[in-house]
Amino acid sequence: MGEKRIDELFQPSRATLDGYNADVYFQRSRAILEAEGLDPLVTMEFFARRRALLCGMREVEALLSRALPTTAEAWLLEEGNWFEPKEVVLRISGNYRSFGLYETAILGMLASGTGWATAAAACVEAAGEVPVISFGARHIHPDVSGRMEYAAIVGGCSGCATPAGAERAELETSGTIPHALILAMGDTLAATEAFDRHIDPEVKRIALVDTFRDEAEESLRVAERMGERLWGVRLDTPSERGGVTIGLVEEVRARLDRAGHGEVKIVVSGGLDPERIAHFRESGAPVDAFGVGSAISGAAAIDFTADIKEVDGRAVAKRGRIPGITENRRLRRLELEG
């Protein structure tokens, strides 16, 4: 996978470049300034009011690299850094009409990406050394699911389920067998063996064991047949059956061990969030990986604000804000394409 291909995945859409998805008052502001013959040189700063893990900046960088003239300047905080409340993460200096239209897009890119990454980081922290995999693409619109999965990786997840997210993060996808395949084939073991016959051997063999039978019984059945080819079993017991509990994980582990399958790992998924993950960890439950969905994909966006702080070299600010540039030595200057 080439670097050029990865860069393309972060490029802005035609709608963003044209301002089609911008707040209309930015379009109108640009039209008014043009009609008045005005195009002031401004400095705009972007910040949030809470500590969070920055994500979305690669998309912002791609947008600004295409949209800003070489006479403008931009400084940014690198993707994947934690920032403090009101710390400036992006500063743009240039003629307002050259970039003012993109305020909506920049704020949205940072708000969504940072929200997802920060939520993922909370799950990863709760899990300690146990890997967390993002399974949340099904909870959001498919046009943005790749961006969410990428943000989850920025937040520390070890993998994600969609090719769109994995390609952005330069990883292989994670995921094996859904309930749908097992139901379609009528048997967990039959579906697992079919997977083993037809899917690349490099992909881990993980059997989903809660569809038809007791999870411990099904785990033993699959382990006996698959032997060393079985990497692990996944417990995804629905809430209608009480969900995955600490006791269930302990029972599955004990029965596998007693049958000589101590190498088979246990993956837990279904309704996990930082609190539930912490509960599993604090209890000492033998979980080898967590699959997390809506706790990441459903995370609230982190609100960002954009303020003009200078106009034609004069320090300005709206009421309640401090006029003039806010220093932040962590910012890197963006090299604009000529």
Q: What are the tens digits of pLDDT across the range 9-65?
A: 999 999 999 999 999 999 999 999 999 999 999 999 999 999 999 999 999 999 999
Instruction: Report pLDDT for 6.
Output: 65
β-pairing, 232-235 with 332-333?
A: unpaired
Average pLDDT of the segment spanning 302-320? 96
pLDDT at 289 over 70: yes
Q: Which one, of 156, 152, 235, 144, lies nearest residue 188 by Cα?
A: 235
Q: Which residues contact 172 (CB under 8 A, 6 or more apart)?
A: 159, 166
Percent of the chain with pLDDT over 90: 94
Instruction: Report pLDDT for 7.
Output: 82
Query: Could you tell me the domains of the chain?
Result: 3-114+300-333 (3.90.1170.20), 117-297 (3.20.20.70)
Q: What are the tens digits of pLDDT across the range 68-85?
A: 999 999 999 999 999 999
Instruction: Report pLDDT for 336.
Output: 80
β-pairing, 232-235 with 206-208?
A: parallel
Instruction: Report pLDDT for 106.
Output: 98
Cα torsion 64, 68, 71, 73: sign: negative
pLDDT at 338 over 60: no
| Mean pLDDT over each residue of the chain, to the nearest integer | 95
pTM above 0.75, yes or no: yes
How does DSSP assign 260-272, residue by residue?
T-TT-EEEEESS-
Q: What are the tens digits of pLDDT across the range 172-208?
A: 998 889 999 999 999 999 999 999 999 999 999 999 9
Q: What is the DSSP letter of 137?
A: G
The separation between CA 311 and the C-alpha centre of its own chain, rounded to angstroms, equals: 36
Q: What are the tens digits of pLDDT across the range 219-274?
A: 999 999 999 999 999 999 988 998 999 999 999 999 999 999 999 999 999 999 99
